[in-house]
Amino acid sequence: MNRRSFMGKIMVTAATFLFPWTAQAQGKKGIVRQDGIIYINGVLAVVGDEVKPGDRVETGPGAKSVIVLDEDAFLLRENTQVQFPDESTAEKVLKVISGGILSVFGPKKLVLDTPVATIGIRGTGLYVRIDQGRVYACLCYGEADLRSKQNPAVQERLKTSHHDAPRYIYGQRDGNLIEKAPIEDHTDAELIMLEGLVNRVPPFGKEPLGYQFQ
């Protein structure tokens, strides 16, 4: 067994220990974990409910949810609203309206649309949080193109392997619209958990530090 395979087994084992419910969630789709109130298209939802392309999902105060949609998996924080891509459209757009969402995607082109910026991705791990007047975005690994809505000429192309370039992207502002940021509000263990739900291992090669949402 090579080192990468060995480390991958360690990380998956660690994530299973930190998130023991994942053993029962393997192979399942839709809402696979829920803590608090969650709605699908305005209707109260529970674990096991299907999430379809084009659906709008919302978590309530203090709530969290894990959703699996095809080869992608998502962890929604509290007070989060997202609308999943409509498969009938040529360009696939995931709308992040409020709150925070940690996502892992299979190999595809996709655009995350936020109130102040768009983020074009190509098979990545990504955390996005909507703040007042700005968006926090951490490309945990993969490739992405950040573009300001205030000034589309302001953009940045990123390629990272392990939280290398977190960014704040601002709306109306006189200064820089894209700035460096610290790593905030998401963990390696959560990424390992999400990737494990879709039978993948993240590309970074170390054991996770810290966890949330047990």
In sequence order, what are the residues at sequence separation of 6 or more whose Cβ sits closer than 8 angstroms to the Cβ of residue 9? 1
Q: What pLDDT does 204 receive?
A: 79
Residues 48-79: tens digit of each pLDDT: 999 999 999 999 999 999 999 999 999 999 99
In sequence order, what are the residues at sequence separation of 6 or more whose Cβ sits closer than 8 angstroms to the Cβ of residue 86? 53, 54, 92, 93
Which of 90, 55, 18 has its CA nearest to residue 67?
Answer: 55
Average pLDDT of the residues of the chain: 87
Its pTM stands at: 0.87
Domains in the chain, start-ordered, CATH in brackets? 34-186 (2.60.120.1440)
Which of 183, 157, 204, 196 has its CA nearest to residue 17?
Answer: 196
Q: What is the token pair recorded at 208?
A: 């996770």
Helix axes 188-197, 3-18, angle to 10 degrees: 100
Is the model's pLDDT at 89 over the cut of 70? yes
With cut-offs at 50, 70 and 90, classify the pLDDT of residue 15: low
